[in-house]
Structure formats: C-alpha cells, structure tokens
Amino acid sequence: MNHKIVLASNNAGKLAELSQMLTPLGFELHTQSEFGVPEADEPFGTFIENALAKARHASRLTGLPALADDSGICASALGGEPGVHSARYAGEPKSDARNNEKLVASLASHEDKSANYYCVLVYVRHAADPQPLIADGSWKGEVIAAPRGQGGFGYDPHFWLPQQQCTAAELSSDEKNRRSHRGQALVAMVEKLRSSLV
C-alpha cells in the first residue's frame, strides 16, 4: 500500500533525494506545487520552527499528511550564519551562485572555515497534529573558495569533506544520501514513520 505524502517544498533536488529513499518503503511523495499550494512563510529563527510551519501549511491546504524539511549551512566563524537564511543568503531572487559567493566572501577574513550542513525533518499526520514526528541530522565539513564537482545543489560545490577529500558535489547521489545531513535525518524519520504506521 502506498502512503501519499505531500512534500512541503517545490525544490526538485530535495524531491529527488527524499523520493529515492522513501519510495522503496511504500511512500508516494508529491510536491506541494502539484496541489497548487504556495510556499509557506518561514519567519522563524530556528530550523525546527520553520519546518513545522511548512508541514502544517501544506497539510492544511491539501488534507494530506505532510513532510517538510528546513536545512541550511552553518559556518562556525559566522555564529551559525547563514543558517535559516541559507536559501536567500544573497537576497532575492534566490541564487546558488550568489549565495556561495557571499559565503566565501564572508569567511575570507576568518581562519576558521569549518561549517556544518544541518537538516530537520518534520512529519505531520494532519495540520493540527499535536505529536509531529521530528528527526534531524548534521554533516560536518569546511567551506572552500573554489567550487568543485557538478553534482548536488546549493552550497555542495564549496562544501569540502576532509575525510573523503572531495566536496559534496563530487559524491555520487547514493554516497551523498548515505552521508548527508538530509540522509541522516531521513534514516531517523523512516524509523519513526515505520513505527507510527504499525
């Protein structure tokens, strides 16, 4: 039996990553744009509050269970910035290239280039669900000035993984799903979803 879930995002990269891991488990993921749902406001200062707001918004407008993520990159030397502002760090319109340029420039005068990708996933059974399922993951690396690799999206070409000696954009999609912040959060979420469906 397929369990239909609305993904509270229109990001094709996220849909591909999440679908690759959820489809084999019997979950049928649809973007909110398929239902004409506009993007939710994300006025909060934390990933978890924004993810919950997005999930409730998508569920309320579709009547379906909803899965939302909020994720970004947090640079240690910048006090966790860009953080929840990662997607629009360089302003509107959203641009991965300009976001990366701004992050590299912001870190240029800092010796500490360490950063981590962070992801929180929230699943609500219905819009007013008092017991949302929540899972998170963190992926440590460093920000490098020159981009490397063609894969991934967002900050991936600048996110250096010392242990692998490559950027996130140089990993295969399978490898990235195993290691990434979203992959970690999703593994934890899948376990919670399995338990909740029993």
Q: Which residues are catalytic?
A: 70
Task: Find the Cα–Cα–Cα–Cα dihedral 110, 113, 119, 120, rounded to 10°.
Answer: -50
Q: How far apart are CA 174 and CA 49, in angstroms?
A: 29
Closest to 74 (Cα-Cα) out of 111, 108, 47: 47
Q: How far apart are CA 20 and CA 125, in angstroms?
A: 21
- Find how far residue 134's CA is from the centre of its chain: 13
Q: How far apart are CA 137 and CA 175, in angstroms?
A: 16
Q: How far apart are CA 9 and CA 86, in angstroms?
A: 15
Name the helix (H) or strand (E) containing 69.
strand 66-75
Q: How far apart are CA 59 and CA 147, in angstroms?
A: 37
